[in-house]
Amino acid sequence: MKKIHLLLLKSFIRPFIVTFVIVMFVLLMLFLWKYIDDLIGKGFEWYVIAELMLYASATNVQMALPLSVLLSSIMTYGSLGENYELVAIKSAGISLTRALYPMFVAVLVLSIGAFFFSDYMLPKANLKYYSLLWDAREQKSANFLPEGVFSNSFPGYTIRVDKKDPDGQTLHGVTIYAKSVDFETPGYLLKAKKGNMFRSNDNRFLMINLEDGIRYEEKPGGGNFNPNPRQILTRFRFKTAQYKLDLTGLAFKRTDESGFSRAFQMMNRRLLKDTMNKIDHVIDSGRRVNYQLLTPYIKYFSMPRRKDMVDKTHAEYKHGVMDFGSNGQKLSYITNAISEARSVQDEIKRRANTYKEASYSVHSAAVEYQKKFTLSAACLVLFLIGAPLGAIIRKGGLGLPVVVSVVFFLIYHIISTIGEKAVKAGDASAFLGMWIAIMILTPIGLFLSYKAANDSVIFDADIYKRVFNAVFGRIMSAFKRKVDLSGQAVEE
């Protein structure tokens, strides 16, 4: 490998790593902004949040990687052009195509790695991410005892706290109502002026220490030692008391991941292919049995199979069935016909809904299958756009390259999203819908590569200014000439 190739690779790797980290950080912040209400205040351990952020970062690679390739390629060749290093390379007899060669090989290796990542690592990351996010969103809030609210977080208890200190543990004005479970364990009402709460060491119980309170308890009367059948009210005061509330039902639990494994985003290419074949088989079998499912609803007539039977049936009922029988029988004909039509209509609707769901499933699976390949192709195409574009604009840093890269990436993302929705709706084939963005951007990349190789100045503002001034000058001169001619005609 030549020294010039090492120089170009070093110039590309550093911006790529920096931009990839920045884009991943921005996407991670968007994730936290979106789900902040589902994560804060639920008592998660730090490692649960860290694990969720790790899986979220892995799922964001399919969006961050193409954008990082585009941005870093523009920055690299823009910086080389701004510092006149491209001029030195060309003066040494090295064309722009040869200068693109080492970076193209690097992006090609990166694209191959992206393909294996999307096929092997991304389904597992999606499974971990969505299962953990589901459990986190279903977790109840750790604020078990909010201020001024009767909380039913603990089974068998209703608890109200008038006020809490900023530390979240010191309580004021505590009211506890314990419900009666059976006759042997009566309920009670407790009021305390002050208290504090904390979790046990094993996180299984919430401990509440109360101070200066009173407890009311009612028990049924009667029995050997107390023949009075009326209720007995017991009231006693206490200086300190401790109560232990079970947190078993409120602890963070992980759902079995197998319940999420049937989603298409959690499958690799082999599973997606098998799933599409099974769904296609179900659709084809459903088409074959549609007639057999509808014939039981047709009670009076069936489709004759032989020609002589068709002629005989046509001869008997050539004037219609309403020519036979009394008025009551004719009314029965109409009623039965309406009933059969409704039954057939309901069965057709049910079969149509089944077919629609199966078609949507097979289209969604086809979308995920094509995504395994489009990620790698997007990296190559966006590099093909970014590298010559950087050589043309000749601006490095994070200024103009960021604007240009965001514009092209938005074009790619919008077209891809439209194509994906068209595939899922059944309006386009999976290949066309998922590759339409690649098909549109590839000619643009080739055009920019051609212009960059020929030292084009398509982004030179002075050229467009001169062209505009020339065109505007011609228009103004023609307008003045017309005004002069019209003035002369009026004078004559």
Q: How does residue 276 score in pLDDT terms, banded at 50, 70 and 90?
A: confident
| 11, two tokens | 């110039």
Q: Which of these three, 423, 438, 453, is where a domain ends?
A: 453
Going across the sheet that includes 157-164, the strands are: 150-151, 157-164, 170-178, 188-199, 205-219, 232-246
- Look at residue 43 in the predicted model and tell me its pLDDT: 63
Average pLDDT, the chain: 77
Average pLDDT over residues 346-359: 82
* Pairwise CA distance, residues 412 & 386, whole Å: 13
Say whether both 289 and 362 belong to one domain: yes
Distance of CA 453 to CAs 268, 373, 380, 390, Å?
40, 29, 18, 12
Number of independent structural domains in the chain: 4
Say whether both 199 and 82 belong to one domain: no
- Look at residue 343 in the predicted model and tell me its pLDDT: 79
Say whether both 119 and 7 belong to one domain: yes
Judge whether 79 lies within some domain. Answer: yes
Judge whether 300 lies within some domain. Answer: yes
Lowest mean pLDDT among 147-161, 410-424, 445-459: 445-459
* Pairwise CA distance, residues 135 & 140, whole Å: 10
Judge whether 52 lies within some domain. Answer: yes
Distance of CA 225 to CAs 222, 228, 229, 426, Å?
8, 9, 11, 81
251: left (phi over 0), alpha (psi -120 to 50) or beta: beta
Q: How does residue 220 score in pLDDT terms, banded at 50, 70 and 90?
A: low
The residues pairing with 158 across neighbouring beta strands, listed in sequence order, are 177
Say whether both 438 and 465 belong to one domain: no
Judge whether 155 lies within some domain. Answer: yes
- Look at residue 3 in the predicted model and tell me its pLDDT: 75
Most confident listed range (136-150, 406-420, 464-478) = 406-420
Distance of CA 421 to CAs 190, 298, 363, 407, 424, Å?
59, 39, 10, 21, 5
Judge whether 345 lies within some domain. Answer: yes
CB atoms within 10 A of CB 347: 15
For the entire predicted model, the pTM comes to: 0.67
What is the CB-side half-sphere exposure of residue 353 using CA atoms within 13 A?
A: 5
Secondary-structure percent of the chain, ordered helix, strand, coil, rounded to 5: 65, 15, 20
Are 163 and 172 contacting, i.e. CB atoms less than 8 angstroms apart?
yes
Eight-state DSSP code of residue 119? I
Say whether both 54 and 136 belong to one domain: yes
- pLDDT higher than threshold 80 for residue 237: yes
Say whether both 333 and 287 belong to one domain: yes
Percent of the chain clearing pLDDT 90 (strictly above): 1
- Look at residue 462 in the predicted model and tell me its pLDDT: 60
Judge whether 334 lies within some domain. Answer: yes
Q: Which of these three, 368, 388, 404, is where a domain ends?
A: 368
- pLDDT higher than threshold 70 for residue 85: no
Average pLDDT over residues 412-419: 90
Q: How does residue 249 score in pLDDT terms, banded at 50, 70 and 90?
A: low
Domain that residue 222 falls in: 150-250
Closest CA to 176 of 161, 186, 195, 194: 161
- pLDDT higher than threshold 80 for residue 50: yes
